[in-house]
Amino acid sequence: MGATIYRGALFVFYMKGFIKSMENKYIDGEEYIDVADIFGENVFNDAVMRQRLPKKTYQKLKETIRLGAQLDVETADVIAHEMKEWAIEKGATHFSHWFQPLNGITAEKHDSFISAPMSSGKVLMSFSGKELIKGEPDASSFPSGGLRATFEARGYTTWDCTSPAFVRQDAAGATLCIPTAFNTYTGEALDQKTPLLRSMEALNDQAIRFLRIFGNTTSKRVIPCVGAEQEYFLVDREMYNARKDLIYTGRTLFGAMPPKGQEMEDHYFGAIKERVASYMRDVNKELWKLGVTAKTQHNEAAPAQHELAPIYEQANVAVDHNQLTMETLKKVAARHNMYCLLHEKPFAGVNGSGKHNNWSLVTDDGINLFDPGKTVHENTQFLLMLCAVLSAVDKHAALLRESAADIGNDHRLGADEAPPAIISVYLGAQLTDVLDQLIDTGTATHSIKRENMDTGVNVLPEFKKDAMDRNRTSPFAFTGNKFEFRMVGSRDSVGEPNIVLNTILAESLSDICDRVEASEDKDAEIHDIIKELASKHERIVFNGNGYSPEWVREAERRGLPNIPSMVEAIPALVSDDSVELFEKFNVFSKAELESRAEIEYEFYAKTINIEARTMVDITRKQIIPSVIEYTTRLANSINQVRSASDKANVDAQEEILVQVSDNLKLAKEKLDNLEKKIPVAKDILETDKRAIYFHDEIMKAMKELREPVDKLEMLVEKNAWPMPSYGDLLFGL
């Protein structure tokens, strides 16, 4: 699929026949990349397995994946041997179970293929089915939220055979990476993958029931598919190394705005700088080799900000690939003497970074259940599915908001650059009109037709406009044949939001199917359910400006939750409704939910603590000494001028000296205040109350310290300031 898409997507590939004839494959000194040749070359994908595995083994594996059954050890042994042989041919010496613990990044332990030495002194290279299926990292050293005590070390990684293994090549050589789930000794999930796979199974079961209601007996599976758009910033590595705040926290804790930000709107979709374009080229090459369908790249709204977007994939594969994408963005940046910032808000005053989670449902025979078709008002199956989504989002709005909760997101949600913290659904004019008809009369008789695009220029081709516009202020928008959840943070796993989306829709479909299956007149029951759900949950639909203060008031009138911060969002994870929901579909146990809430509170407190301590360190060791040195030089200069001439006018110099000294004094006062507040948190034993203290007290003190420091940056001469400025960072590539 990927190779076909890319041949058509990039103009240079139309020259493929000509370039293929060139032996050295170089154009103007640059290596030519044939995506069709390299795509997936480091992936143990279906084509490789079909070629290398015995036919019976291949069929057994495919049947296991299709039915969701367990793989027997004998079959696993055969697969492991061929996987090892293939990996060695790629230069691999080690294998690793690659998993996603609850610390926001991936983890891995490397083992070589070497087995016990033979009498000849040589060694055998082996890899067994048991090693493929199961691994055992130390579970006590990863976040567990109380599921594992420090002395209880055992945990298991288990092969996810639905996500292909891959060989990662870097400075360490080549390593066979096997995507796995990560669980405790007693079976609880310690990762994002396990509950994601559970939620996919739950949604599949209920969606198949849904399809059977409409007479579909041919579709065997319903697969949630995801496309995760990835935003990021690039800064020069040397400048990054000169900023302790970026090194320790991933964001700038101080920084005055430069004369120019993003107000000219000249960066978005602008011509990509050569240094960045070279970086993007290498990123694409790395990702294509790993089977990641990196398709779209462009400059984003803020200076130094960019975006990379893939093609849709099965949800768990998309989550794995997004983790690989983030790793690759950082790794390749180092080669280009740059640093990739994935923090949601690395710079105050310019747009932060998010990760739009595009979500759809597709059957194994290619039916998109979110496709409204050409006559929406007649598509009963779609209308019922749409109402199921509205019901799910409205009922669990707080939980969906929590799934995107992140400390970095606290700086951007609702700040006129990202969706508001209020969950609503954008449907557009066409679907909203159909919904209104259903609410008013119980029947939809028409739908708004697509119109021709009139540009007023004869030479421009005529085409049909989409039936609806886009709304960039909506957190959950219908965009033609998918829903786009726009609240996810740029550095976060898309696992958690998709776990929630899959599970809340599974519940909604289950309730619908229970009613229809129990009814004697199924058509009438479907009609009644559509009208009932449309009427009950129309409050969640909003097509207007989500940035407007009027919407905040209107949302409150509608009874929609407005949850501005992470610490206020976390309780939704362990509410009675959430526990009942997740336990019903075996996605999370109550203990697993409580552990995740504990981890998130701890993460919040630890992160703010690091940021606060970093502010103290920078202010005390860099800013104050630099400003004192500057004021000393300025005072000496004033005295020298006065000594040279009694008539010399030094009013301007004295005014600057007073301004700098006043702000220095204020900065010292705010620094002392922050230093006093930080140790207080140690005495707060409850993790939720500790996190709330950091939110209410420490964040406030940090903001108060930043204000005079940023003013000092504007007063002190540039050469005297101890770190690169925003202007240096944002425009330095």
Percent of the chain with pLDDT over 70: 94
pLDDT at position 67: 73
Task: Please compute the mean of the pLDDT values over residues 415-431 and round it to a whole number.
Answer: 89
pLDDT at position 646: 76
Binned at pLDDT 50, 70 and 90, residue 20 comes out as very low
The half-sphere exposure of 649 on its side-chain side, counting CA atoms within 13 A, is: 2
Binned at pLDDT 50, 70 and 90, residue 122 comes out as confident
The yes-or-no verdict on residue 726 having pLDDT over 80 is yes
One-character DSSP codes across 357-379: EEEEEEETTS-BTT---S-GGG-
Task: Please compute the mean of the pLDDT values over residues 97-107 and round it to a whole number.
Answer: 91
pLDDT at position 119: 67
Binned at pLDDT 50, 70 and 90, residue 194 comes out as very high
pLDDT at position 2: 36
Percent of the chain with pLDDT over 90: 77
pLDDT at position 700: 97
Task: Please compute the mean of the pLDDT values over residues 7-11 and round it to a whole number.
Answer: 32
pLDDT at position 590: 97
Q: Which two tokens stand for residue 697?
A: 């007290």
How many angstroms from the chain centroid is the CA of residue 598?
21
Q: Looking at this protein, which amino acid is placed at residue 12?
A: V
pLDDT tens, position by position, 201-255 = 999 999 999 999 999 999 999 999 999 999 999 999 999 999 999 999 999 999 9
pLDDT at position 49: 95
pLDDT at position 186: 86
Binned at pLDDT 50, 70 and 90, residue 642 comes out as confident
**Which residues, 6 or more positions from 461, have their beta carbon under 8 angstroms from its beta carbon?**
none
Long-range contacts of 506-509 (CB under 8 A, 24+ apart): 506/199, 506/202, 506/203, 506/205, 506/206, 506/207, 506/585, 507/206, 507/392, 507/581, 507/584, 507/585, 508/388, 508/389, 508/391, 508/392, 508/395, 509/203, 509/206, 509/207, 509/209, 509/210, 509/388
The half-sphere exposure of 468 on its side-chain side, counting CA atoms within 13 A, is: 23
pLDDT at position 154: 81
The yes-or-no verdict on residue 469 having pLDDT over 80 is no
pLDDT at position 12: 34
Phi, psi dihedral angles at 67 (to 5 degrees): -95, -10
Cα–Cα distances in Å, from 587 out to 97, 143, 163, 582?
23, 19, 19, 5
What ranges in 481-622 are assigned the alpha helix state H? 495-518, 522-536, 549-558, 566-569, 576-584, 590-618
The yes-or-no verdict on residue 651 having pLDDT over 60 is yes
Q: Looking at this protein, which amino acid is placed at residue 111?
A: D
How many angstroms from the chain centroid is the CA of residue 523?
40
Q: Please give the Cα distance from 319 to 685 (Å, whole number).
A: 35
pLDDT at position 692: 97
pLDDT at position 418: 83
Kind and range of the H or E run holding 1: none
Binned at pLDDT 50, 70 and 90, residue 468 comes out as low
pLDDT at position 15: 34
**Which residues, 6 or more positions from 633, have their beta carbon under 8 angstroms from its beta carbon?**
720
Binned at pLDDT 50, 70 and 90, residue 22 comes out as very low
Task: Please compute the mean of the pLDDT values over residues 481-509 and round it to a whole number.
Answer: 97
pLDDT at position 17: 37
pLDDT at position 336: 97
pLDDT at position 6: 32
Is residue 488 helix, strand or coil? Answer: coil
Task: Please compute the mean of the pLDDT values over residues 296-305 and round it to a whole number.
Answer: 94
pLDDT at position 676: 97
What ranges in 290-379 are assigned the alpha helix state H? 315-335
Task: Please compute the mean of the pLDDT values over residues 633-639 and round it to a whole number.
Answer: 93
pLDDT tens, position by position, 39-60 = 999 999 999 999 999 999 999 9
> Which range is least confidently modeled, 193-197, 213-217, 648-652?
648-652
Binned at pLDDT 50, 70 and 90, residue 177 comes out as very high
Binned at pLDDT 50, 70 and 90, residue 16 comes out as very low
Q: Give the predicted TM-score (pTM) of the model.
A: 0.93
Task: Please compute the mean of the pLDDT values over residues 647-670 and round it to a whole number.
Answer: 94
Q: Please give the Cα distance from 579 to 177 (Å, whole number).
A: 34
Q: Degrees (nearest 5) of the Cα angle 281, 286, 287?
A: 100
Q: Which two tokens stand for residue 402?
A: 């929590």
Neighbours of 480 (CB within 10 A): 15
Task: Please compute the mean of the pLDDT values over residues 477-484 and round it to a whole number.
Answer: 94
Nearest to 100 by CA among 324, 315, 311: 324
> Which range is least confidently modeled, 54-63, 509-518, 715-724?
54-63
Binned at pLDDT 50, 70 and 90, residue 25 comes out as low
pLDDT tens, position by position, 688-701 = 999 999 999 999 99
pLDDT at position 465: 63
pLDDT at position 11: 30
